[in-house]
Structures are given as structure tokens and as C-alpha cells.
Chains A and B, each alone.
Chain A
């Protein structure tokens, strides 16, 4: 007589066993994929990368920086797909090279931002006491100054003439280095607070005490046990921070404190757009702006998807 109790080789158990055990990373990826907007964001961002990296194969930087006063302020045409700017430079080509600059500046600034945020927030929480008090008062004071004001003041502070630098055989304005530091130094505060809050609760957990009683050093506990557990937050902040950094670069360059021409960036392309907008030269405004909005939008969508994907409580997307 057979009972209804499943034996070990019954299909119920087999399916349970053969169901693949997923690593946390795979779970995150699975949740991310289910987030429709985030996937669109990723596809959009991929297209953008193809345009600004692939485009460089067809258009040289010389073309992008070539001045042609005869053709200045010409509207989009067969020859100039996105028109020309006030000195006759091809907007289509400048968007390619400006995009590279904007993305690289954003990426490097985010590295500074995340490093500072993780170190300052983590150290404040881990050591506590007066270290915490001083670091957090410093963080608060930086947060109390509106970011654009801070960007301007810091931009003026380290705004010195730096010679052009050669990267991959290309001459790029030295101002790029200043912008990277200015943007990085003015954007780490929120991340520092989040990391602090997380490390504060993590360091009370048993596994940390165990690790300490086994004789692990502070550095080891910090980098090996605490920081990896905040990785989800760090990845999400890095993504959203990239969008913020690109936007900040655009603001500083728009105000003329950032990347200096002839090196193009999406922000400084809009500076000249502003001066000539009263003459109705819409192409100088719309094309760089659309690229900025599109880039920020796709990165924000990806970041949103990542945030949901890293949140273990969000099971709705599985």
C-alpha cells in the first residue's frame, strides 16, 4: 500500500533539489531583470555608449574642435546634422566628444565621492565617540551649504590654470581634473550618513564580536566584514551618484567654471547656447540638453531598479 507521504525520490523533492540555489548576486540580477523600466534604462544607456564611443571612430576630435567662422550658427543641415555653434564647430561631433568628457568626469568624480563617503561614514560609525562627533559635524556643515554654492566656491578655490593634458593622444583641457575633484568633494555627504547608519547597526552583530575575539584587526573587520555588507547601498549610491555627478559637471561647466573650451562637455556647449538663444539658435540648446536628460534619465532608471533589486524585502519582482 502506498501512502501519500512523498519519498526522497518523488517528484516533489526532486524539483526542490534540482531548483538551482541562487547566490545573492544572481538573486539581485533576477530581480533587476524583472524591473521593466530599469531594463529599458540599461538598453538606453547602452545605445548612448555606442553613440559616444562608436561615434568617435567616424568623427575625429579635430573635427569636433575645428572652428569655421563662415559656417557659424548654421541650423541643422545635410552637412551639419545638429547645426553649428557660435564659432562654427559641428554640434554633432562635439556631442560625441563632450559626452565622453562628461561621462569620464562623472565616473571619476563618483569614485572620489564613494571613497570619501564610505571612509568618512564608516570610520565615524566604527570608532564612535569624538571621532564620530567631529566627522559628523563636518558632514553636516558641508550639507548645510547648497551644493551649487559649494561647487562654485570650491571651483573658484582650486580654479587655477592647468595646462592641457594628453590622454590617449588627445589634448584635453586641464580644467577636467579640477572639475573631477570639485564634484567629488561636494557630493559624498549623503552617502557618508547612510554608510554610518548601516555600520552602526552592523558592528553590534555577533559575527563582528566573534571576528574581534578571534583577533581580527580593525582594518580587517572594517574592510572584510563591515563594508562588504553595505555593498548594496554602495552600488546603488554609485549609480545614482553618477547621474548626480554628470549633472553637477553640467552645472559647473554651464556657469563657465568647469571644463574649458575648446574641449567640449555637454555643460559648456550650453553656455554658448545661452548667449545665442535670443537669436533663436535652438539647435545649440536642444541637442546637448536632450543628451544630458537622456543620460541622467537612463542612469536614474538603472539606479532605481538596482535599489529595488538589492532590497531583500522587495520580493514583488521575483
Chain B
């Protein structure tokens, strides 16, 4: 166990090192960070050169990289060129919003997937199963902007036009006095995300449920006269839900990044929009900081999920 952990951690360390080099090169050269001053008539060429000097943009590339890496290792991700604030501060302003959005989404996604998956497994090849399968295939093939824009059009724009109670189009700012408004703003983005995400999850639950339902211990449970409900929820579901642990565990770190498109469409002030706004401005410290945080989370959670799984499912042994 410990040697396994040590080996995985060593691998993870190299993976992260490659990520930092890769991301640094990609973001550092994606556009000129001080191009946003280009149109400013008050800035002369000398001023720009001085600014470059001050921001350290004219130093040799390896120096820039190791400076950034050294500071990042100490938890300092540098300052945003545009907002002139520490990157960590910008990120921690947005992180709660993204976490709220993503965890609520994940909660409803899992519930929807369990319900749909169990129904279609228990009633395999019935009309209901076919309907659910069709919908999950459609959901699986759907880009998020389809559901997001559709919900926006129907529940925010058309409902308003028809004089019905309508939902806000977005622009949520956390107002401590008004949590109701916050939840209101959350309804549409969460629905759009759940619709698309539960499609894949429910197929997964269906498959693993079918596998479990065909196994001997379920037949034994039925044979000794247990009710269908007890067989399904006490015996089958527990094992069928196990693989879901892996999927959810591997998905959680990606939550940190939020949902770029959904957050943009509903003007949700989360990490995805932060990333997108600053990527457009070539503000590379922010972009780089977000990428680093997400990838550290992804790499850590991959190992954690593997280890956790051996505890949840003792049949699995790691070597």
C-alpha cells in the first residue's frame, strides 16, 4: 500500500512538473499581455518597455518560469496585469460561487442518474427504458449551450413576454441579505448542467445495475423471499453504486474549473468565467494560476479515488 502510494506520488510529481512547463509555455505566448495598453495614446514606446521591464517580461524564459514556479510553490501565484490584484485573491472571490453551482449540480445529477438508471435497469427493454435510453443518448450528444440557451429562451425571455413568472437571465452577485435571489439565479444553470450530465451517469448506473441484478447473490436474496424493494435498495444498489464512486471522484476536481460556457451564458461569477475573461485579455498569471490549481486537484483526486475505492470495495487490491 505505502509503496504503491509512494510510486503514484512520484509519478504525480512528474506529471505536475510537465503540466507547469506546458501551461507556462502555452499561456505565456498566447498573445501579448500588455497589448491591452496598445490603444492607450498616453503610453509611449518607452513607457511600454519600462512596463515590460517592471513586470519581468523581458527576462530569459527559463528565469521567468523558475521565478513563477518558485513563488507558486509558496502559494503566491503572482498578480493579474489587468485587475492589478493577486491571482489568489481573484480566485478565492470566485471559487465559492463555482463550488456552490457545481455541488448543487452534482447532487441533482447523481439523484437523477440513480433514479433513471435504476428504472431502466429494472424495467429493461420496456417502453420506459427505451424512452430513458433515447433521452440519455440525446443528452449525451448535446452541447451545453443547446440546453442552456433553450432554458434561457423559454423560462427567462418567453415567460417574461407571456406575463408568466419568469426566472432571471443571470448576473448573480452574492448578496448576503438575499440568499433567495442567489438560489433563483442558480435554477437555470443547474438545470442546464444536470440535463446534460445526468445522461452519461444514468447510462453508467443502468449498466452496473444490470450487471449486479444478474448475479447469484441477488437470486439468493430473491429466493429467500425478500421484497423487491429490499433486494433493489439494500442489496443491489449498494454494489451497483460502487463504480459511481470512481466517476464522481474523478469528476470532483474538474468542478474547480467550473463550467466555462454555462457560467458565461448565465453570467455566473464563477471560475469558468474568470478563466475565460482573463484568457481573452492574455492575462497569463490568472490563466496559469487557475490551470495549476485545477491540475493539482485532478492529479491528487486521481490517486485519492484509487485508494478510496479499495476501502469501499474490498475485492479490489492494489499492487
Question: Is B18 part of the binding interface, using a Cβ–Cβ cutoff of 8 Å?
Answer: yes
When distances are taken between beta carbons in the complex, the residues of chain B under 8 Å from A149 are 257, 260, 275, 290-291, 294
Whether A293 lies near B18 (C-beta < 8 A) is no
Min Cβ gap A281→B in Å is: 9
Whether A277 lies near B157 (C-beta < 8 A) is yes
Partner of B26, one of A138, A157, A250: A157
Question: Is A71 part of the binding interface, using a Cβ–Cβ cutoff of 8 Å?
Answer: no
- Compute how far the CA of A251 lies from the CA of B196 in the bound complex, rounded to whole angstroms: 15
Q: Given A152-B275, A152-B276, A285-B150, are A144 and B295 also a contact pair (CB < 8 Å)?
A: yes
When distances are taken between beta carbons in the complex, the residues of chain A under 8 Å from B261 are 148, 251, 254-255
Whether B157 lies near A145 (C-beta < 8 A) is no
Which of chain A's residues has its CB closest to B292's CB?
A145
When distances are taken between beta carbons in the complex, the residues of chain B under 8 Å from A145 are 19, 23, 291, 294-295, 298
Q: Which residues of B (227-267) have their CB < 8 Å from a CB of A? A: 254, 257, 260-261, 264-265
Whether A293 lies near B153 (C-beta < 8 A) is no
Q: Given A137-B11, A153-B23, A251-B261, are A292 and B143 also a contact pair (CB < 8 Å)?
A: yes
Min Cβ gap A292→B in Å is: 6
Whether B15 lies near A289 (C-beta < 8 A) is no
When distances are taken between beta carbons in the complex, the residues of chain A under 8 Å from B49 are none
When distances are taken between beta carbons in the complex, the residues of chain A under 8 Å from B260 are 148-149, 152, 255
When distances are taken between beta carbons in the complex, the residues of chain A under 8 Å from B302 are 144
Min Cβ gap A240→B in Å is: 11
Whether B279 lies near A280 (C-beta < 8 A) is no
Whether A289 lies near B138 (C-beta < 8 A) is no
Whether A156 lies near B276 (C-beta < 8 A) is no
**Most chain-B Cβ atoms within 10 A of its Cβ — which of A146, A250, A296?**
A146
Question: Is B184 part of the binding interface, using a Cβ–Cβ cutoff of 8 Å?
Answer: no
Q: Which residues of A (272-311) have their CB < 8 Å from a CB of B? A: 273-274, 277-280, 282, 285-286, 289, 292-293, 296-297, 300-301
How many B residues touch A, CB cutoff 8 Å? 48
Whether B141 lies near A137 (C-beta < 8 A) is no
Whether A273 lies near B149 (C-beta < 8 A) is yes
When distances are taken between beta carbons in the complex, the residues of chain B under 8 Å from A26 are none
Question: Is A28 part of the binding interface, using a Cβ–Cβ cutoff of 8 Å?
Answer: no
Whether B275 lies near A156 (C-beta < 8 A) is no
Give the contact stretch, choosing among B27-35, B62-70, B80-88, B204-212.
B27-35
When distances are taken between beta carbons in the complex, the residues of chain B under 8 Å from A274 are 145, 149, 265
Main DSSP-derived SS at the B contact region: helix
- Compute how far the CA of A293 lies from the CA of B137 in the bound complex, rounded to whole angstroms: 10
Whether A146 lies near B169 (C-beta < 8 A) is no
Whether A297 lies near B137 (C-beta < 8 A) is yes
Question: Is B307 part of the binding interface, using a Cβ–Cβ cutoff of 8 Å?
Answer: no
**Most chain-A Cβ atoms within 10 A of its Cβ — which of B140, B149, B260?**
B149
How many A residues touch B, CB cutoff 8 Å? 40
Contact with A along B275-314 (1 / 0, CB 8 A): 1100100100001001100110011001000000000000
Q: Given A141-B15, A141-B22, A153-B287, are A297 and B138 also a contact pair (CB < 8 Å)?
A: yes
Min Cβ gap A76→B in Å is: 15
When distances are taken between beta carbons in the complex, the residues of chain A under 8 Å from B145 are 250-251, 254, 270, 274, 289
When distances are taken between beta carbons in the complex, the residues of chain A under 8 Å from B137 are 297, 300-301
Question: Is A247 part of the binding interface, using a Cβ–Cβ cutoff of 8 Å?
Answer: yes
When distances are taken between beta carbons in the complex, the residues of chain B under 8 Å from A133 are 14
- Compute how far the CA of A230 lies from the CA of B23 in the bound complex, rounded to whole angstroms: 32
Min Cβ gap B247→A in Å is: 15
Which of chain A's residues has its CB closest to B19's CB?
A141
Whether A293 lies near B138 (C-beta < 8 A) is yes
Which of chain B's residues has its CB closest to A289's CB?
B146
Partner of B161, one of A142, A270, A280: A280
Which of chain A's residues has its CB closest to B146's CB?
A289
Whether B279 lies near A289 (C-beta < 8 A) is no
When distances are taken between beta carbons in the complex, the residues of chain A under 8 Å from B9 are none
When distances are taken between beta carbons in the complex, the residues of chain B under 8 Å from A68 are none
Whether A293 lies near B15 (C-beta < 8 A) is no
Which of chain B's residues has its CB closest to A148's CB?
B260
When distances are taken between beta carbons in the complex, the residues of chain A under 8 Å from B22 are 141-142
When distances are taken between beta carbons in the complex, the residues of chain B under 8 Å from A202 are none
- Compute how far the CA of A293 lies from the CA of B27 in the bound complex, rounded to whole angstroms: 32
Whether B257 lies near A146 (C-beta < 8 A) is yes
Whether B150 lies near A153 (C-beta < 8 A) is no
Min Cβ gap B257→A in Å is: 5
Question: Is B167 part of the binding interface, using a Cβ–Cβ cutoff of 8 Å?
Answer: no
Q: Given A149-B291, A243-B141, A292-B143, are A137 and B26 also a contact pair (CB < 8 Å)?
A: no
Residues of A within 8 A of B (CB): 133, 137-138, 140-142, 144-146, 148-149, 152-154, 156-157, 159, 243, 247, 250-251, 254-255, 270, 273-274, 277-280, 282, 285-286, 289, 292-293, 296-297, 300-301
Given A255-B264, A278-B157, 11 extra CB contacts under 8 A: A137-B15, A144-B295, A145-B291, A146-B257, A154-B26, A157-B26, A277-B152, A278-B156, A296-B142, A297-B137, A297-B138
Q: Which 9 residue pairs spanning A and B have beta carbons closest together?
A: A156-B30, A296-B141, A297-B141, A141-B18, A144-B298, A289-B146, A141-B19, A157-B30, A144-B295
23 A–B pairs (Cβ distance < 8 Å), ordered by A: A137-B14, A140-B11, A144-B298, A144-B302, A145-B295, A146-B257, A149-B294, A152-B275, A153-B291, A157-B26, A159-B31, A243-B141, A251-B261, A254-B143, A255-B260, A273-B149, A280-B153, A282-B153, A289-B143, A289-B145, A297-B137, A297-B141, A300-B140
